[in-house]
Amino acid sequence: MALTPDLSFSDSLKSDRRTAFYERHKGVALAMILIVFLLPLVGVVVKGLAGALMGVVISVLAFYLAPYALLKLGGWFAGS
């Protein structure tokens, strides 16, 4: 499946598009795994239970929004 910078936001939220993105970008996938698991732990250390909750929310949002954001930034940098 082709991943292009003109991918719409709603298309980027689909599971098959997200999977294709993470399969093509192994480094980003590894970074997202670390973010998803470590950010809640950092939140606990810094702010307690509220920090853990914020860490979970931020890491889940990052997991879903990273493919869209990185493809848009990549297209923006390639266009300049």
pLDDT tens track for 57-70: 999 999 999 888 88
Per-residue pLDDT band for 75 (boundaries 50, 70, 90) equals: low
Enclosing domain of residue 74: 13-79
Residue 8: inside a domain: no
Q: Nearest Cα to 25, choosing from 79, 60, 73?
A: 73
Instruction: State how far Cα 30 lies from the chain centre.
Output: 11
> pTM of this prediction?
0.73
Domains identified in the chain, total number: 1
What b/e string do you get for 43-69 counting C-beta neighbours within 10 Å, with b at 16 or more?
beeeeeeebbebbeeebeeebeebbbe
Q: What is the pLDDT of residue 73?
A: 84
Residue 4: inside a domain: no
- Supply φ then ψ for residue 4, to 5 degrees: -120, 155
**What token pair was written down for 28?**
């980003």
Residue 57: inside a domain: yes
Residue 5: inside a domain: no
Per-residue pLDDT band for 44 (boundaries 50, 70, 90) equals: very high
